[in-house]
Structure 1
Amino acid sequence: MIDPDERTARRALDGVSDAYVAIDERWRIEWVNAATTEFLDRPREELVGAGAGDVLPGDVAAALRETFGDAAATDASGAPTPQSPGGDAEDRPRDVELEFRIDCDSPDGSFDVRAVAADGGVSVFIRDVTDSNRLDRELARNATIVEAVHDAVVTFDADGRVTSANQAAEGLFGADRRALIGTTVDDLASETTLDAESAATFADAAVAVREGAAAERRFSVTCEGADGRQVGDVQLVPLPIDGADGTVGVIRDVTEREEYDRVLTALHDVSRRLFGADDPDEICAIAVEAAANLLNLELSGIWLLDEERNRLDPVAATARTHDEIGGLPHFAENEGLIWDVFRSGDAELYGDLREVPGVYNPDTPVRSELIVPIGDCGVLMAGEPRPDQFDDTDLELAGILAANVEAALDRTDREQLLRRRTEELERQRNRMETVAAVLSRDIERRLSAARDALGAAGVTIDAGGRSADATVDADGQPTDAGNQPTDAENQPADAGRSPASDDGVPGRAAAAEELAIAERLVADVREVAGAAGAETARERVSLADAAADAAERVDDVTVRAIDDPSVRVDRRRFVRFLAALLRFAAGRAESEAAVHVGRLDDRDGFYVADDAPPIPEDERADVFDPEYAAALSLPGLGPAMADEIADANGWELTLAPTEGERRGARFEVTGVTTLSR
């Protein structure tokens, strides 16, 4: 029968939340409370009388046996055997109290155990702390992670006081973390290297987040410490602490990123200076100055390729380079690492030149070296007397500078080439004008001599090159004795010739016509030679009016303007342009040529179309050759001269394909940007 006091005790034990197990001297379960049945998930009647080692978690039972003695070995009936170390009551520990925590292997969990030995038995209290222990481990792991991250992490309680700070926060704020604990957010300016403005921003953001006015705040802060200026990006978010509203700030040091952005912006400014330079020497001088001042490449220089000697020559270097290296070497092909980089086109970093084969000068004081190709132009090279002084950021920024130098050098090369070509074209134009002048003077002398000879023979030549005593038909056209038309500007070279004139002077009419054609040729040559010359005054000219003026200079041609666009052009040259095409039509026509002019429907331009016999297909490609008109015995240079004038105006003159039953030639002029209706 259970003692009343024991019954009262058991009733009280049933009310506690910890598991309670009473173990007798034979290490059997004598009694368990209700919490134990839940803890072990077995009914009380099944537990009472069972061996303690069979019921309790293995690590708990093992710890109890180690302290209070092993459980008795039992026979098949469950009775203790003589081998039991705890068989004698006097040998078993008495009145011993034990407390310990055991982290059992999964799935048992973690337990706080308190055991007391009394009257030959053991009373055991077991508290399952698996969840609590897991939380502790999680907190410890999180603390380790927070400590290990590179970002500064600072927590604040509901009163705005610092409750924790990791090592990164020490470095950023320039203060011992133990000194930071308890500091209010308002005191950060005085206790850390935060400047006053940043500290005020931090305090305002902390209040806003803590009071719920903002879910988070992001801002930048500046610290002015012994190591210089540091910049941090802050993210401030709520952090419940012991049921109160705290905050946590994560501050990422972005000093290097800010410096990188600053240098990158400065390099863009340098690129403008590079593109304003006039020659390679100036470009390279600007580049090494930027390398020293912006990239801290104080021992640097630029070598450019001398294509004639096939070597890399020093063009510019910093003052420190000249002081420490002295005379800069010229690198012949395959000499040193510089040629390896130049040939491969890949930038290289060398941490220690003493460990690199193929160094140009094994005794060089330089240990670290950075070599960046400047395209096909040369290389940028920098060094330091200590090893491992450059990193990938240095390589990247040096590559950006080298790319800008390459672009600037390419620009100067193109400009120099353009200047040389312009100068050559100017010389060629001058030569053409000189040749044209000499040619025209020589022909004019010969023409003058021919006039004098004809004059001595009694033939008078008018201003158009015609014989004054040649007969004139009803339309006012001069004829020879055989009544053939002799218009010098529109007939083939042999047209209108007769073996003798009316007064018996042999060939005087033919001579007159030849003189007229020669004068036309001289005028065309002068026009071609001067077509690409200096700009002339331009004005808005009607296509119809210009075509009418041109028709007055050419015989046996009529012009009809289909519509009347206008173009801004030198009027004199435009009329000569049209006259050349009209004369080409009249020279090919069997009788009077009809010419239409008008605006193109689908492009900016106009056309000149005639009804003279079509140009044979195999001759179309030669129409703009100056020899073409001469080969056909047509007057002047014809389309060749018109093409030169069109080109001088930036137009394109083409011979359109023959379509359908349309006969004649259709010349189209496109690219006339100043054309208007």
Structure 2
Amino acid sequence: MTVPRPLSSIGIASLGAVLALTHTAHIFTHDKPPVAMLIGAGIPLTIALLIIYAGYWTKQQHYPAQYGTQILKWTVLGGIAIGGLIGTITTHQYLAGDIPHDAGYQLATAISGGALAGFVAGTYNTESHRRLTRFKALQETTTTLITASQKETVCEHCVQFIETELNASLTGAWLYNASRNTLEPAAATTDATDTFDTHPTYTPGNSLSWNAFTDGEVQIYNTVHEHPDRYNPDTVIQSEIIIPLGSHGVLNIGSREPGAFDDVDVTTARILASITENVLDRIERETELQEQREELEQQNDRLEEFASIVSHDLRNPLNVANGYLELAKEDCQSDALKHIETAHNRMETLITDMLHLAQAGQAIEETTRIPVGDTAEAAWEMVDTPSSAELTVTPRTTDYTVISDESRLRQLFENLFRNAVEHGGEDVTVTVGVLDTDSKTGFYVADDGPGIPVEDRDRVFESGYTTNENGSGLGLVTVQRIVDAHGWGVTVTRSTNGGARFEIDTDPEHGEQEHDATT
């Protein structure tokens, strides 16, 4: 049976009062030496007075009723246990015909000691149980919070937990609006909504909540009415805990009773606020990433549309121009015609590279395990290379596979091969191999051409960058787009033959480390 908390404290105090009266009577009815009286009655009286105070202390705590009942039970059972032990000894003495004349006071002393010990044990047991219960409740709430996808939902769960576990019915959460520089209400308990007509929006310097938010420090007020910076001078809130949620806002935990929160409550609130802040951080990151993905997809869609229009609108007149160029070459031989042909080829290259770039930026929908060696050889066949150029696939690469979009992987190889031929010359040798380092997992494409200067290696993936007067500057940009679409990483370094080596890290979170490599 659960006893109302005030009755539990009254029960403990009443037991102490009865025992105190008994020990006081002992002092006045027995004539003993001072030391004997101090030990026999003074110390027990002090213990009885401590039990009275224990009842008052219990009343001041804001335990739920069941905890007060548990402490009362422990106190009574402690007195009964020790009193029963002494009673057994007294009964034995009585049966032996040697009962002391102050046996009743001895029994009262035993009950006093046992009751105080029971109170201490009950308080410790209650605190342990409270902490364990709070810990389990926090675990359950954390599981709920980490699945939330909206900040307002997180705040609602947080407020519900506070209301249930801390018995704080006037609780609310405010989120920071950066564009307005305000703290705006996001969630509140039912009692708070019913009590206040509207939930205020806090602005700089107008409330304790704003002060806590800007200071980043937990604020605890046992009597809010005594603070001059309170938002509402006539508020019904007596005690309050205000906890910042990082850069996201604040959590206000209020009660109609003064001094309503103890150390366990404050600790619980701090832990919950820390968990809430981390969840809000995660939601904010996910929101930003989603916005970036949507923006990137829109950009890619516009780029693809633009590339398709340009390709269609340019290729037709370009084909017509090539046709007339061939007729002109039959009628005369002129260097001017050669320059026109070069310009036409340049335009064709730009159109093709633009289409490849647009396709490379598209989101990858399906991936499968693709053999790197076979894909590289197939891509080499699609590239217009001099007969003296050579492709070497290392033995390890023959059986090596990656999770990828097959078409996009082949496109990556084609662009790297074209780059090697353009810069390495007609006799270039290109090698495809597997990365064999502790910091990277993936494959590489290396050549024995002139290589890329160290100062230019960070620029080669920039749009329009090229050292070839006939190049479009889009080939390596396309490579970067394909790598990004897969979530990979790409770096350029020097091969042992002095050429360029492009390393494709298919597990960039494993770590990156620049190094000279062998081919």
Give TM-score, length-normalised by structure 1.
0.54
Output one character per residue of 1:119-177: Cα deviation in whole Å (capped at 9) or x when no partner: xxxxxxxxxxxxxx78x976778756865777xxxxxxxxxxxxxxxxx9976354795
Greater Rg by CA: 1
Deviation of the 1:343 alpha carbon = 2.7
Q: Within 5 A, what are the aligned runs for 1:416-427?
A: 416-427=287-298
Pick from 323, 337, 351 the counterpart of residue 522 of structure 1.
351
Pick from 353, 370, 380 the counterpart of residue 540 of structure 1.
370
Deviation of the 1:539 alpha carbon = 4.3
User: Secondary structure of the residue that 2:251 maps to in structure 1?
Assistant: strand
Residue 267 in structure 1 maps to residue 138 in structure 2? yes
Q: Within 5 A, what are the aligned runs for 1:403-414?
A: 403-414=274-285
User: Secondary structure of the residue that 1:627 maps to in structure 2?
Assistant: coil
Q: Please give the alpha-carbon distance, in whole angstroms, between the structure 2 residues aligned to 1:515 and 1:264.
A: 74
Deviation of the 1:448 alpha carbon = 2.2
Residue 554 in structure 1 maps to residue 408 in structure 2? no
Deviation of the 1:296 alpha carbon = 0.5
Pick from 187, 192, 211 the counterpart of residue 321 of structure 1.
192
Residue 397 in structure 1 maps to residue 397 in structure 2? no
Pick from 164, 167, 170 the counterpart of residue 293 of structure 1.
164
Tell me, yes or no, if the aligned pair for 2:241 and 2:252 is still in contact at 8 Å.
yes
Output one character per residue of 1:354-387: Cα deviation in whole Å (capped at 9) or x when no partner: 4333333333333333333333322222334443
Tell me, yes or no, if the aligned pair for 2:464 and 2:472 is still in contact at 8 Å.
no
Match of 2:332 in 1: 504
Residue 647 in structure 1 maps to residue 484 in structure 2? yes
Pick from 565, 577, 580 the counterpart of residue 415 of structure 2.
580
User: Secondary structure of the residue that 1:333 maps to in structure 2?
Assistant: coil
Higher helix share: 2
Match of 1:610 in 2: 447
Pick from 311, 315, 319 the counterpart of residue 440 of structure 1.
311
User: Secondary structure of the residue that 2:205 maps to in structure 1?
Assistant: coil
Deviation of the 1:570 alpha carbon = 3.6
Shift in CA distance, 394/544, structure 1 to aligned 2, threshold 3 Å: closer
Deviation of the 1:441 alpha carbon = 1.5
Match of 1:567 in 2: 401
Match of 1:341 in 2: 212
Q: Please give the alpha-carbon distance, in whole angstroms, between the structure 1 residues aligned to 2:449 and 2:77.
A: 100
User: Secondary structure of the residue that 1:644 maps to in structure 2?
Assistant: helix
User: Which is further off, 615-624 or 429-438?
Assistant: 615-624
User: Secondary structure of the residue that 2:175 maps to in structure 1?
Assistant: strand
Percent identity for Structure 1 against Structure 2: 29
The AA in structure 2 aligned to 1:360 is Y
Output one character per residue of 1:454-486: Cα deviation in whole Å (capped at 9) or x when no partner: 46x27xxxxxxxxxxxxxxxxxxxxxxxxxxxx
Shift in CA distance, 388/169, structure 1 to aligned 2, threshold 3 Å: closer
The AA in structure 2 aligned to 1:562 is T
Match of 1:231 in 2: none
Shift in CA distance, 571/329, structure 1 to aligned 2, threshold 3 Å: closer
The AA in structure 1 aligned to 2:494 is P
The AA in structure 2 aligned to 1:427 is Q
Structure of greater relative contact order (alpha carbons < 8 Å, 6+ residues apart): 2
Higher strand share: 1
The AA in structure 1 aligned to 2:359 is G
User: Secondary structure of the residue that 1:666 maps to in structure 2?
Assistant: strand
User: Which is further off, 312-321 or 138-147?
Assistant: 138-147
Q: Would you say how many aligned residue pairs link Structure 1 and Structure 2?
A: 423
Shift in CA distance, 289/512, structure 1 to aligned 2, threshold 3 Å: same
User: Secondary structure of the residue that 1:371 maps to in structure 2?
Assistant: strand
User: Which runs of structure 1 show a deviation greater than 6 angstroms over 4 or more consecutive aligned residues?
Assistant: 100-103, 136-142, 183-186
The AA in structure 1 aligned to 2:408 is R
Shift in CA distance, 292/619, structure 1 to aligned 2, threshold 3 Å: closer
Match of 1:309 in 2: 180
Residue 624 in structure 1 maps to residue 495 in structure 2? no
Output one character per residue of 1:292-347: Cα deviation in whole Å (capped at 9) or x when no partner: 22210012222333333333333322222233333333333212333333332333
Q: Please give the alpha-carbon distance, in whole angstroms, between the structure 1 residues aligned to 2:450 and 2:273.
A: 64
User: Which is further off, 346-355 or 521-530?
Assistant: 346-355
Output one character per residue of 1:253-285: Cα deviation in whole Å (capped at 9) or x when no partner: 022331232133213212222333332332222
User: Secondary structure of the residue that 1:331 maps to in structure 2?
Assistant: coil
Shift in CA distance, 592/181, structure 1 to aligned 2, threshold 3 Å: closer
User: Secondary structure of the residue that 1:524 maps to in structure 2?
Assistant: helix
The AA in structure 2 aligned to 1:555 is T
Q: Please give the alpha-carbon distance, in whole angstroms, between the structure 2 residues aligned to 1:635 and 1:307.
A: 43
Tell me, yes or no, if the aligned pair for 1:169 and 1:177 is still in contact at 8 Å.
no
Q: Please give the alpha-carbon distance, in whole angstroms, between the structure 2 residues aligned to 1:365 and 1:615.
A: 73
Q: Please give the alpha-carbon distance, in whole angstroms, between the structure 1 residues aligned to 2:260 and 2:82.
A: 35
Q: Which runs of 5+ in 2 are unaligned?
A: 1-30, 52-69, 89-113, 509-519
Tell me, yes or no, if the aligned pair for 2:251 and 2:273 is still in contact at 8 Å.
yes
Q: Which runs of 5+ in 1 are unaligned?
A: 1-99, 104-132, 151-167, 187-247, 459-500
The AA in structure 1 aligned to 2:482 is I
Match of 1:93 in 2: none
